[in-house]
């Protein structure tokens, strides 16, 4: 393992040689394969499924999965690196990656049975199967315990699931309404002794009776090159072997995986911030007004200076949080909420400043930043709204006041 000679030389974003090599590989892949297709697929609202499957060839779809199941066996810092680098070019393509690799694949690697992991992980790590996670519903998002999708166990041991899931990234694979190959589904399975809703996790496979796509959602403001769908479960029959863990115990699955999801989303924001800053900095040296480069004007300097400071703050917070996150354990909610709360809004603001600096050029698709600005808004909503993060942080600091002084 690579170790810095002096602690002052440690790069928190590339703490080991393995991490640095991963970043170099993904950055090269993005330049050669992702960047050339990003603008066109945003215009056409097309998910590049062929390019997505290629991520499996590079070992990225199972980045956090143990090698014995076909993964790369890496950590939360590696997850952040991949999400940052992909989002520098195409946040929508990265969102599809995150929905698969973090929301579904990592969830299964951390919480599935040995039989489930051996049967499914090789397929989702290779890209043979494309997966998603289904939590939100038409009338329920942050209010998870209000979900209406329910599952009842039959006498033969199989489960019958009824309900609809909404806003599901990767829920549909193409315009023919082909559903995701595998869904990590949360459903209500009754109430506990205190009257609290019990949530159970099910693995839904394409071809199971009663599982279908209700609609593919078009005309989104941003993230247009990823697919979003409503999924329908109409008396969907699921075998007992596809229940993850014990019935009623899925809140622990959910909370633990939300931490790496939020780190991934914050890393996506970091990629957007870096690209937006790079674009406005370059443009301000090329564009002249009143006989001089516009970077000489005070207001342009303000936009660039504030963006640089916020970008560096995002970078430090993302990789500090990733370094302290154990993928197999919960307990880092304070910072996973905090980093997403800060990074997503800061990235949106940096993209907005880039448009302002670039003027009319910043407002058209060819110059990228308007797409980054549209894409960034979703990051303030998906994986937990800003308001939910504010609530969680405030509650956690009441319980752990000393976190402020650590």
Q: Are 303 and 357 in contact (CB under 8 A)?
A: yes
Q: Are 376 and 221 in contact (CB under 8 A)?
A: no
d(CA 39, CA 21) in angstroms, rounded, equals 27
**Residue 242 contacts residue 204 (beta carbons within 8 Å):** yes
* Closest by Cα among 115, 192, 203 to 161: 203
- Neighbouring residues of 307: CB distance < 8 A, sequence distance ≥ 6: 273, 276, 277, 280, 349, 350, 353, 354
Does residue 205 have an active-site annotation? no
Query: From the candidates 230, 259, 261, 370, which is the catalytic residue?
Result: 261
Cβ count near 330 (within 10 Å): 16
Residue 118: how many CB atoms within 10 A of its CB? 13
Burial (0-12, 13-18, 19+ Cβ within 10 Å), 249: middle
Longest dimension (CA), the chain: 82
DSSP string, 122-133: HHHHHTSS-EEE
Structure token digits, residue 117:
């992991």
Answer whether 124's CB lies under 8 Å from 131's CB: yes
What gap in Å lies between CA 65 and CA 117, rounded to an integer? 10
How far apart are the C-alpha atoms of 252 and 117, rounded to whole Å? 18
DSSP string, 91-104: HHHHHHHHHHIIII
**Residue matched to tokens 């090329």:** 286
Task: With beta carbons less than 8 A apart as the criterion, state whether 74 and 67 touch.
Answer: no
Residue 385: partners with Cβ closer than 8 Å, 6 or more residues away: 141, 142
- Would you name the residues annotated as active-site residues? 261
């Amino acid at each position: 393992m690579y170790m810095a000679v002096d602690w002052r030389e440690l790069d928190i974003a590339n703490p080991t040689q393995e991490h640095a090599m991963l970043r170099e590989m993904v950055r090269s892949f993005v330049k050669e394969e992702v960047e050339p297709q990003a603008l066109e697929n945003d215009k056409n609202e097309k998910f590049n499924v062929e390019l997505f499957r290629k991520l499996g060839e590079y070992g990225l779809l199972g980045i956090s999965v143990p090698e014995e199941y076909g993964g790369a066996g890496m950590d939360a810092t590696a997850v952040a690196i991949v999400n940052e680098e992909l989002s520098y070019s195409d946040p929508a393509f990265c969102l599809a990656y995150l929905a698969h690799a973090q929301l579904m694949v990592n969830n299964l690697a951390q919480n599935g049975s040995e039989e489930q992991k051996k049967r499914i992980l090789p397929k989702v790590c290779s890209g043979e199967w494309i997966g998603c996670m289904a939590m939100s519903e038409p009338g329920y998002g942050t209010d998870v315990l209000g979900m209406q999708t329910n599952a009842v166990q039959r006498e033969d041991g199989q489960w019958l699931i009824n309900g609809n899931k909404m806003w599901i990234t990767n829920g549909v694979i193409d315009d023919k309404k082909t559903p995701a190959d595998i869904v990590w589904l949360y459903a209500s399975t009754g109430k506990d002794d205190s009257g609290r809703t019990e949530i159970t996790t099910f693995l839904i496979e394409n071809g199971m009776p009663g599982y279908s796509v209700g609609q593919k959602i078009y005309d989104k403001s941003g993230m247009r090159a990823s697919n979003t769908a409503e999924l329908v479960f109409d008396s969907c029959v699921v075998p007992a072997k596809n229940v993850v863990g014990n019935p009623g115990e899925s809140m622990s699955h959910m909370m633990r995986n939300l931490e790496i999801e939020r780190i991934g989303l914050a890393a996506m924001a970091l990629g957007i911030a870096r690209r937006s800053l790079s674009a406005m900095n370059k443009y301000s040296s090329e564009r002249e007004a009143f006989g001089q480069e516009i970077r000489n004007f005070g207001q342009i300097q303000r936009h660039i200076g504030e963006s640089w400071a916020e970008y560096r703050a995002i970078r430090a917070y993302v990789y500090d949080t990733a370094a302290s996150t154990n993928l197999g354990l919960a307990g880092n909610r304070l910072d996973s909420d905090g980093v997403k709360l800060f990074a997503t809004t800061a990235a949106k603001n940096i993209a907005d400043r880039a448009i302002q600096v670039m003027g009319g050029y910043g407002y058209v698709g060819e110059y990228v930043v308007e797409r980054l600005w549209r894409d960034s808004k979703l990051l303030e909503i998906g994986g937990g709204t800003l308001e939910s993060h504010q609530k969680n942080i405030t509650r956690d600091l009441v319980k752990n006041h000393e976190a402020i002084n650590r």
